[in-house]
Structure 1
Amino acid sequence: MEETTFVANPMRLMIAAAVGIVILLVLIIKFKLHPVLSMMISAIIIGAGAGMPLTMISDTVEKGVGKTLQGIALLVGLGSMFGGILEVSGGAQKIAETLIAKFGQKKAGWALGLTGLVIGTTVFFEAGVVVLIPLVFSVAKQTKKSTLYYA
């Protein structure tokens, strides 16, 4: 099967891209629309503005979103699993306790920051936050300082 290609007028493409970026920013900042949905709307507007046939726009957006999600899904899934393993096994708690013992109680904030860096590099962000929140409460109780101090 032969794949069709589309060649846009460069000036028309530049104008469509500029309009699409402005629309993207307006949708996200002013209307508080989810960024993924805003990007899809902007991609459709850029394609239409560049003169691309509508059927080709839908195929192109579908391929672009599919390739993006294909790369991210594995990363998010594994990061969430590793975060769950660290939380259930007590590994994150042990890392924090070891670093607090090395840094001392007065520098527990630095120890938690370093723990967040270590855990954050191995797991997806939301999974890291879920793992670190109980640690913050635990350390705040041990050091008798406010939870907000460590947050």
Structure 2
Amino acid sequence: MLIQIIGQNLDVAFKELSIKASKVYESKENEFGSKYQVWELAEIEYEKLQLTEDYDWKDGYGWWRNGGCNHSKDGTFEFNVNENKMIGFKNEFHYYHSEEYLSELEEEGEEIPSYSTFSEWFNEYMSLSKEVNLAYFAHSLADINGLTKAEFFQKFEG
């Protein structure tokens, strides 16, 4: 079985730590100068990665995550992200969900605004910005949308 992880700047880490992994996705550079990556590893290689001691993980190795988030308390909502329909977590505190705003959109025949990328949705709609948190959301939302992590990023990040 192959396992997909999300991270950044892992090329050197995998080479120097002798971990066999395939990069199956890399985003374009975002406004912060970062690129998101999805890597695929066999279970044995994933175990080697998990067992890597903190003192062996150099500063320039980047970061990785393979866990989801539990942000589903407010339910889900359909969003337009990168010109595709994405099921995402509903943020009850966002003005999109106020009755007044939704009524106004309906009267004017407009749709809820769309987002050019998943990271834009994450920053602007969810009001979150930490990249490791983005990885947790992507992990969970890939499952909800019935996609692998690589497919999720290809479809919604571009």
Q: What is the TM-score with the length of structure 2 in the denominator? A: 0.26
Whichever structure has more helix as a proportion of its residues is: 1
Q: What is the TM-score with the length of structure 1 in the denominator? A: 0.27
Q: Determine which structure has greater relative contact order: mean sequence separation of CA pairs < 8 Å that are 6+ residues apart, divided by chain length.
A: 2
Q: Which has the larger Rg?
A: 1
Whichever structure has more strand as a proportion of its residues is: 2
